[in-house]
Amino acid sequence: MSLRTPLANARGLGSAKEGVDHWWKQRLTAIALVPLMLWLGFSVAMIGTADYYSVVEWIAQPVNSALLILSIAVGLWHGVLGLQSVIEDYIGAEAARLTVLILIQFAAALLALAGILAVLRITLGV
Amino acid sequence: MAADRERPLSPHLQVYRLPLAAVLSITHRITGVALALGAVLMVLLLVAAASGSQVYTAVYPLTAHWLGQLILFGFTVALYYHMCAGIRHLFWDAGYGYELDTVRRTSWLVMGGAVALSVLTWIVAIAANGS
């Protein structure tokens, strides 16, 4: 007798109907990032060497705040999916692979939160 | 009968000249990883801006230094390269552009697009800031 349920015998053996999930989300975020990154690239070029006040003023404009938050969220999401593919390809040892994958996801979550809070703080004028 | 000596693996990276498409493929990966690091810098700059004028003014000169500018230029090229190569991937995903001639042509298109967009962005930057 064992404490394990028979479910363990079925796990990982067949389709869970999520086979294209990673692939699809990588493409979905990629499509969204094309206009977002064109906007970001040329916007940053326009602000360039601006002083603190013009930078903050630019970030605080509603359209810019919205697109910045979207860029952070979608960009980091796409980044996590991409790094996951790279890690899965190059790190063979399962423990190391899992550790790096977890660290990447935690780091991305922290970065996304920090970036979005920074934009909100500027745009809400706290 | 098992081979009694180690056979070379293919492609043997030290002696094998990668086809153009393979060079672009590995560059897509490398720029992708680089851009993830670039995202860290972007968020740090935003956090600096949100921390007030003192912090921002302390961090800002780093981006104006020639080394900072060089890194920023590198990220511009990486961004547009990854974008152009990524768009080609989307066409492949849709089932288009697998003919070898087409692949060769779109390879140059990807590189040309990345260079053109980078140069255009920096022309805008220099025009807008006069430096």
Residue A38 · residue A75 · CB < 8 Å: no
DSSP-derived letter for residue A11 is: T
pLDDT higher than 80, residue B93: yes
Percentages (nearest 5) of helix, strand, coil residues in chain A: 80, 0, 20
In terms of CA atoms, which chain A residue is nearest residue B45?
Answer: A115
B83 vs B89: CA distance, rounded Å: 10
pLDDT higher than 60, residue B1: no
CB-based contacts of A74, cutoff 8 Å, min separation 6: A29, A32, A33, A36
By Cβ distance, the residue of B43, B50, B122 closest to A72 is: B43
Percent of chain B's residues with pLDDT above 90 = 76
- The pLDDT tens digits of the residues spanning B49-69 come to 999 999 999 988 888 889 999
pLDDT higher than 60, residue B131: no
- The pLDDT tens digits of the residues spanning B100-125 come to 999 999 999 999 999 999 999 999 99
Q: Compute the average pLDDT of residues A23-47.
A: 96
A102 vs A122: CA distance, rounded Å: 30
Q: Is B97 left (phi over 0), alpha (psi -120 to 50) or beta?
A: left
Q: Touching check for B94 and chain A: CB below 8 Å?
A: no
Q: Compute the average pLDDT of residues A37-64.
A: 92
Q: Touching check for A111 and chain B: CB below 8 Å?
A: yes
DSSP-derived letter for residue A115 is: H
ipTM of model over 0.85 = yes
Number of neighbours of residue B23 by Cβ within 10 angstroms: 13
In terms of CA atoms, which chain B residue is nearest residue A45?
Answer: B125
Contact residues on chain A for B56, CB-CB shorter than 8 A: 52, 55
- The pLDDT tens digits of the residues spanning A69-94 come to 999 999 999 999 999 999 999 999 99
